[in-house]
Amino acid sequence: MGNQRMAKFRINNNRKGGIVQSYTSSFSTLYRLVDLTCITVIYFALMYVQSIQIGPDAIAMLFLAITSFLLLAEAADLYRSWRLESTTLLIRHALICWVITSFIVGTFAYFAPSFVLHNETNFFIWLFSTGPALAIWRVAFRELLFWQRKKGFNTRSAIVIGATQSGYNLAHQILNNEQLGIRFKGIYDDRTEDRLPFEFTNQIAGKINDAIELAKRNEVDFIYIALPMSAEKRIMQILNMCSDTTCTVSIIPNFFIYNLLNARWQTLGSIQTLSVFDTPFQGANNVLKRLEDIVFSMGILSLIAIPMLFIALAVKLTSKGPAIFKQKRYGLDGKQIMVYKFRSMKTMDNGPDVKQATKDDDRFTPIGSFLRRTSLDELPQFINVLQGRMSIVGPRPHAIAHNEQYRQLIEGYMLRHKVRPGITGWAQVNGFRGETETVNKMVKRVEYDLDYIHRWSVWLDVKIILATVFKGFINKNAY
């Protein structure tokens, strides 16, 4: 960003308040009312179309749904300000709340079928149509806000303290995302021009004291401190000065924590801690992931139950030994689990020395190579998913002997076990499947596994499942 671009840092200090800014506290009430209206209107519209009489049972079911959703929404902090958050994250939170609500309502309807809307079809239409409605109105309203902010209404102002690369990057993001409605007023730093990085020469809006004075005059809403973490004393001095303002103050970490696995702030008693290696599956995410696994595994098992019986019979008739091979592997948090597979080899290694399968391996049973090449040997693992030992999507579990080998060779290898292992995974659909005859292949697999944990979303799981269906079952590396 050159001098011409940086000049935008000193844009107009005057801001238009806008209706929304004046009534921010009313925003959460509006969101609650619209959510309530969506759920109720769709419910009664279905009853009207089907000429269903509105009775106490129907009102009780609607009341349960509204109460459950609003309580879950409060727990998920759905009605806070989402100005600085992505639309995807907002929609994700809303849909998670409705999915759990549907599960609660569905469970209640199962045990009290008289409360269901006339017939099951109407009931499920209501559940499946309300979620998208809750998402669509949020997207539409958010787009309206974005348009308003680009016109200069409903804006906030921000400054950065510290002419550092992280501060510079933040300024760049604010300037390139006008829909956030944040007007950037410049970078402030106390250093003289000869001590500044080259790109900041003549681009400083003023000294740090000037920034604090702006804040005291209520001309700034957000202050971002981008000083190096080593400048702890100076940061504390600035924070003390900021405490005499009403600004929202944030510290931009400019160190390696950005690249750590699901780093997040946590509270232990009265002490704040920074979790640097953590799982994305906590709270609502954990419930959603488990619900996803249960629904998919039950549906798939109902389809493959008969084929599995024929495969088991074929294994028994073509070789001596059990149809199901059980092997100890590491699961969630590195705890041992028993993984099920159709036996594809004459040997059943499950000790400290497990040899990986190779092409034309003489240990294969007559149909073993075919089972492995087509991934049919993995089908019993859907039972593991239903048991909660595995997920449909996640890092593939390796034999314990291989885990112990590679954890000594690959940095961060055991972080794969911060989530449940999966039947298929991000590494597998990207070509890293089957034998890992070199350490580099395992390194790439681990990189994809950690990338999956870092980026997890329901949509990513669906994407991986679809990729597995269309190109993952049969693979040249699977043997």
The residue assigned the tokens 């073509």 is 318
Same domain, 168 and 22: no
Give yes or no for residue 96 having a pLDDT over 80: yes
Residues 53 and 165 in one domain: no
For the chain, count helices (H), then strands (E).
16, 11
* Token output for 51: 């000429």
Q: 331 with 381, same domain?
A: yes
Output the CA–CA distances (angstroms, integers) from residue 366 to 241, 317, 442, 479, in the order listed: 77, 10, 29, 13
Instruction: Please tell me the chain's helix, strand, coil percentages from 3-state DSSP, rounded to the nearest 5.
Output: 55, 10, 35
H or E element that contains 212? helix 208-216
> 3-class SS at 393?
strand
Provide mean pLDDT across the span 173-200.
76
Both 143 and 188 in one domain: the answer is no
pLDDT of residue 15: 40
Residue 7 domain-assigned?
no
Q: Are strands 336-342 and 324-330 parallel, antiparallel or unpaired?
A: antiparallel
The structural domain count of the chain equals: 3
Give me the mean pLDDT over the 310-318 stretch: 91
Q: Tell me, yes or no, whether 382 lies in a domain.
A: yes
First to last CA, the chain: 52
Query: 467 and 339: one domain?
Result: yes
Query: Tens digits of per-residue pLDDT, 278-292?
Result: 778 877 678 888 888
- Phi/psi for 184 (5° steps) reads -85, 130
pLDDT for res 309: 94
Structure tokens, 50? 């089907």
Asked if the structure places residue 228 within a domain, the reply is yes
Determine the Cα–Cα distance for residues 353 and 381; give it in Å rounded to an integer.
Answer: 23
- Decide which of 267 and 79 is more confident: 79
pLDDT band at 361 (very low <50, low <70, confident <90, very high): low
Question: Which residues, 6+ apart, have CB-to-CB distance to 166 below 8 Å?
Answer: 226, 252, 253, 254
Gap between the Cα atoms of 69 and 75, Å rounded: 10
Q: Mark which of 126, 150, 174 sits at the end of a domain.
A: 150
Check pLDDT > 70 for residue 154: no
pLDDT at 186: 86
Structural domain ending residue among the three candidates 116, 150, 184? 150
Which residues neighbour 15 within 8 Å (Cβ) at sequence distance 6 or greater?
A: 152, 155, 156, 157, 183
233 and 249 in one domain?
A: yes
Q: Single out the residue in 111, 127, 150 at which a domain terminates.
A: 150
User: 360 and 466 share a domain?
Assistant: yes
What integer pLDDT is reported at residue 360 of this predicted model?
60
Q: Which residues contact 468 (CB under 8 A, 6 or more apart)?
A: 424, 428, 429
pLDDT score of 181 more than 60 = yes
Burial class (CB in 10 A: 0-12, 13-18, 19+), 251: middle
3 in any annotated domain: no
Rg (CA), the chain: 28
CA 369 to chain centre: 37
- Tell me the residue type at 78: L
In a domain, 430, yes or no: yes
pLDDT higher than threshold 70 for residue 3: no
Note whether residue 479 is domain-resident: no
Residues 6 or more apart whose Cβ sits within 8 Å of residue 221? 156, 157, 158, 247, 248
Lowest mean pLDDT across 7-11, 140-144, 202-206, 332-336: 7-11
What's the pLDDT score for residue 261? 59
In whole angstroms, give the CA distance from residue 464 to residue 472: 9
CATH number of the domain that 247 lies in?
3.40.50.720
Mean pLDDT lowest among 11-25, 304-318, 413-427, 447-461: 11-25
pLDDT averaged over every residue in the chain: 78
Bridge partners of 249, per DSSP, are 223
Looking at the structure, tell me whether residues 301 and 441 fall in a common domain.
yes
Residue 193 belongs to domain spanning: 155-254
Q: Which amino acid is at 205?
A: A
Residues 361 and 438 in one domain: yes
Whether residues 241 and 132 share a domain: the answer is: no
Q: Residue 478 domain-assigned?
A: no
pLDDT over 70 (residue 262): no
Residue at 364 is within a domain: yes
Query: With pLDDT > 90 as the criterion, what percentage of the chain qualifies?
Result: 13
> How confident is the model over 357-361, as a mean pLDDT?
60
Q: Comparing C-alpha atoms, which of 257, 293, 286 is closest to residue 76?
A: 286
Cα–Cα distance for residue pair 212/236, rounded to 1 Å: 14
Residue 211 has pLDDT above 70, yes or no: yes
Structure token pair of residue 4: 């011409």
456 and 393 together in one domain: yes
What is the pLDDT, as a whole number, of residue 260?
60
Contact call for residues 90 and 35 (beta carbons, < 8 A): no
Residue 7's pLDDT band (cuts 50, 70, 90): very low
Same domain, 104 and 84: yes
Summarised one tens digit per residue, pLDDT across range 369-403 is: 888 888 888 899 999 999 999 999 999 988 888 88
| CA distances (Å), origin 83, targets 92, 176, 180 | 15, 15, 6
At residue 381, the pLDDT reads 94
Cα of 465 vs its chain's centroid, Å: 16
